[in-house]
Amino acid sequence: MKHHLPPLDTLKVFESAARHLSFTLAAEELCISKGAISYQIRRLEESLQCSLFKRSVRQVYLTEAGQTLLQTTRKLFDELGETLEHLADRGARSGVSVAVTTYVAARWLSAHISRFNEQHGEVAVLLQHSVNSADFKLADVDLAIRWGPCRQRADPTRFAELQMPLFPAISPKLLERIGVDSTLQLSASDLQREPFKSVPLLCEDRRQDMWQEWVQSSTGGRSLVLKNPLRTISDANVRVQAAVDGQGIILADNLMLNELENGLLVAPFKEKLTGFGYVFMSAATRILSDDAQTLKAWLMSRIGHQD
């Protein structure tokens, strides 16, 4: 809807001059010349086609039209000021929003945010866990961490990448159940043979088949197709626990080192899939606050340390 309003700078000048009943005081308040005040008032009167001030040698007075306009402009400016103050307060309290899965938040980001807070305790970091949902929009958050290909090329939305090679991991108790020595070194082709070919492969509900990506990479691109049953578990934390419980084989990354070091999972397959990892993103169209810029720079420094 188009608004038929006079130039807004003329209303600002009018409100000051009408409140003070003085062009001189209005000029001092707005840090402009008295001549500029007179010019803006004249523009406004021409726009409205009516007089707003009665002028005498040493004083100005409001006309009836001027009194009516002053009441409205003061009310609107007061409401606008309150709204802007409210928005500024809300922005100051809103903190920095980071979209991230609970898996990455618990296994990587949480420890880093704790260190960040030691240096920047005034910055509130708000985690949102909708990063993999179908309706997720990067522009709705300050920063996001998503799984995907590490392209290592210019992209206005990407500011860092944390590469995470993928490798199969399996529970020792599942290996025992199918009669396989957990100390054996295995290869991708073993998954096509008994006793492995009937073992479920745990996967995420993605259009990209990461298991097939892994086997293609492991066999030098040969047309080896895995026939194992696939068990889709979208939540990565639940998928890890399913692997620990012996429900199938999982494609692990280094965020599962705790399970590997404690012997809950073992990694007997020698091949790894590279070129994927966690991509740190920010919408190119979003203007980041100073706090968001601080966190972004800090995360980039931590990724550089790879810890």
pTM: 0.67
- Give the H/E segment covering residue 47: helix 34-48
d(CA 231, CA 241): 13
Q: Which residues lie closer than 8 Å to 8 by C-beta, 6 or more apart? A: none
d(CA 257, CA 208): 24
- Please name each of the domains of the chain with its CATH number: 8-93 (1.10.10.10), 95-164+287-305 (3.40.190.10), 167-273 (3.40.190.10)
- List per-residue pLDDT tens for the chain, 307 residues long: 456 778 888 999 999 999 989 999 999 999 999 999 999 999 999 989 999 999 887 788 899 999 999 999 988 888 888 777 766 655 555 689 999 999 999 999 999 999 999 999 889 999 988 888 777 889 889 999 999 888 766 678 899 999 999 999 999 999 999 999 988 889 888 888 899 999 999 998 766 688 988 988 887 756 678 888 999 998 899 999 999 999 999 999 999 999 999 999 999 998 899 999 999 999 988 888 889 999 999 999 888 655 4
At 127, list the tokens.
Answer: 């985690």
d(CA 147, CA 161): 10
d(CA 293, CA 305): 19
Sole residue written with tokens 């025992």: 176
